[in-house]
Structures are given as structure tokens and as C-alpha cells.
Amino acid sequence: MQNEQKSSIADKPVSIIYSWLGDRIFLTVVVALGLSIILLAGAMAWVLTDEAGMALDEFGIIGFLKGTTWDPGVQFRFGALPFIVGTLVTSVFALAIAFYPAVAVAIFIAEYAPRWLGSIIENLVHLIAAVPSVVIGIWGIFVFAPWMRETFYMPIFLWAADHQPALLPILGSPIGYGMTTATIILALMIIPFTTALTRDAIRQVPKEQREAAWALGATKWEVIRMAVIPYSRGGIMAGAILSFGRAIGETMAVAMLIGNKNNFPFSIMGPAATMPSVIVNEFREAVGNLHLSSLMAIGLVLFVISLIVNLIAAYVTRKLSITGGQSI
């Protein structure tokens, strides 16, 4: 009975869906979806370039990148330099602040913490990542910025006014809304991201690697320092660079806290602006064509910078990983 059934199934001609047609359909769908991502990125770049054309024609690409005036009221001149500088400075310092704590948390979760504690910390870190940036921004406006002003900016400013008046222009006005506040908030926001990527990189380290180090008589710290970190440094660096890319693109919380000053000079505590912040601020109500086109051009610059950052991350992962980019 059983044999009969088996043979009868085997004898049935195979439906085309299980021979060539199924493959074709699957291939078409996968290729279409895959290509759509490329098309999407291409379309974004094309629209941005197209819309930015007017501003780039008017000021020249170099002129736009070097321009320091942003005046939609009288001269109608637009330059991106203050925003580029603002973005890079806040992102670099945010990463500098966030990097070591994030790596430390990741090592603690992956290597030291008992499983239950590790998972609690991990969930809390994910929780920070899940808070919408506009909520962080509101908290910043009403709690963090005033606290920073009372605790740090005001005392520093008053001390400088008494002892080192030359420092005042560098420090800037101690309002609480400015570059330092935005940078710290930005650091807070990328910590979860860096932590998650670092922990993933550490988890990738093969057990044999550690066991070999243990076998050589290494202490726990030595295992981490000589076996785990070198092996995962490519992943850690790539994670840091990806976090940097996130910091560059972070919009709402920064726009709410950076004070939005569209012109040089920037100061340490005083207001500044970033590329995403000026776009989110002015795009909605930009009535003039040149103004709108200039905002699009800023978007294009941001797009290109993000692309470069991502490429660097990919390169670094390959170069720094201990296998030189080849999988074992």
C-alpha cells in the first residue's frame, strides 16, 4: 500500500511551479526587490541634484560649499559652510563622548555580566534607542538645557567674566541651548546604537579564540584585550562609524536644542546649526525658489556625506578585521 502510493507520487509529472517556473518567479521577485533599492537611492540622488540645480548654478558648487552667509531675507545668498561645520563638530564630539562608554557597556554585557543582568541592561539600552528623538528634544528643552545652564554654563561663564574675559567669545552665551547641549544629547542618542553594534562584533569572536587565550594562562582582562578586542575591532570601528553617520543625520532633537544660529562664528556653549536642523526648520515655509533649492542642495551635501561615511565604514570593517575581510 505504502509502496504503491510512493511510486504513484514519483510517477506524477512534476508541476512546472517546482521546475523552471518557480525558479523564474522567485528570481524575478528577488531581482526586482534588490534592484528597487538601487533605483530608490538613484532616484533620491537624482531628485536632490535636480532640485538643487538652481542654487548650485547660482553660487557654484564650491561657492555653495564655502559660502558662509545664509540670508533668505535681503541678499538671498545661501552658503552651506556653517551647517557643514556644525554637523561635523557636533557629530565628531558626540562620537568621542559616546564611544568609550558604549564599548565599556558592550564588553560588560558580553563578557562580565551574568546573563540575567546582561539582558536587563541590553533591554534598557534598547529602550533608550526606542525613545523618539522629538521626546528627547522636549526633555532637553525643559529639563536638560536649563539644568546644564545652572550647573555648568552659568558658573563657567561667570568665572570667565571675572578672570579670563578673553575666553568669553569662545565660550559664547550661556543660554543652555547650543552646541554643547546638542552634542551631549546626540552622544546619548548614539550610545545604544554603538553599544549594540559593538556587542554584536564581540559575540562574533569564536570560542576557540578565547579558549586558546585561556589555555595560555591569560587573565580575563588579557583575554579581552588580546583575543576579543583585536578580533572584533573591525566590527567595533565600523559600528562607531555607522553611529557617526547616524549622528550626522539626527534631526529633531538637535534642531530643538542647538539654538539654530545660521551664521558664524559658533562658540562652545552658544547656538549653532547643523544640516538636518536647517532643513527641518526652514523647508516647510520656504517660499522663495532659490531658498528652497538651497535647502535641497544642503540635502544633497548631507546625502553625499552620509554615503561617504557608509563607504568608509565598509572599508574599515574589511581592513581592520583580523581575517582581512575574508570569512573563515
Residues that bind another protein (CB under 8 A): 5, 8-9, 15, 17, 22, 25, 28-29, 32-33, 36, 69-74, 137-138, 141-142, 145-146, 149, 173, 175-178, 255-256, 259-263, 270-271, 273, 277, 280-288, 291-292
Three-class secondary structure of residue 77 per DSSP: strand
Which one, 99 or 177, has the nearer CB to another protein? 177
Q: Tell me the closest approach of the beta carbon of residue 20 to another protein, in angstroms.
A: 14
CB 318 within 8 A of CB 241: no
| Helix, strand, coil percentages for the chain (3-state, nearest 5) | 80, 0, 20
Q: Tell me the closest approach of the beta carbon of residue 177 to another protein, in angstroms.
A: 5
Which one, 11 or 116, has the nearer CB to another protein? 11
Q: Tell me the closest approach of the beta carbon of residue 10 to another protein, in angstroms.
A: 12
Three-class secondary structure of residue 137 per DSSP: helix
To the nearest 10°, report the CA torsion of 97, 100, 104, 105.
30
CB 190 within 8 A of CB 246: yes
Q: Tell me the closest approach of the beta carbon of residue 71 to another protein, in angstroms.
A: 4
Longest Cα–Cα distance in the chain: 101
Match 559600528 to its residue by C-alpha cell.
239
Match 546649526 to its residue by C-alpha cell.
273
- As given in the structure block, the three cell numbers for residue 28 are 524575478
Q: Tell me the closest approach of the beta carbon of residue 15 to another protein, in angstroms.
A: 6
Which one, 23 or 222, has the nearer CB to another protein? 23
CB 296 within 8 A of CB 45: no
Burial of 116 (0-12, 13-18, 19+ CB in 10 A): exposed
Which one, 197 or 298, has the nearer CB to another protein? 298
Sign of CA dihedral 155, 158, 161, 163: negative
Nearest alpha-carbon partner for 141 in 94, 95, 83, 182: 182
Which one, 33 or 215, has the nearer CB to another protein? 33
Q: Tell me the closest approach of the beta carbon of residue 270 to another protein, in angstroms.
A: 8
Which one, 22 or 325, has the nearer CB to another protein? 22
Which one, 205 or 255, has the nearer CB to another protein? 255
Q: Tell me the closest approach of the beta carbon of residue 80 to another protein, in angstroms.
A: 14
Helices and strands (H and E) in the chain: how many:
16, 2
Beta bridge partners of 71: 77
Which one, 4 or 115, has the nearer CB to another protein? 4
Instruction: Please give the Cα distance from 90 to 92 (Å, whole number).
Output: 6
Q: Tell me the closest approach of the beta carbon of residue 284 to another protein, in angstroms.
A: 3
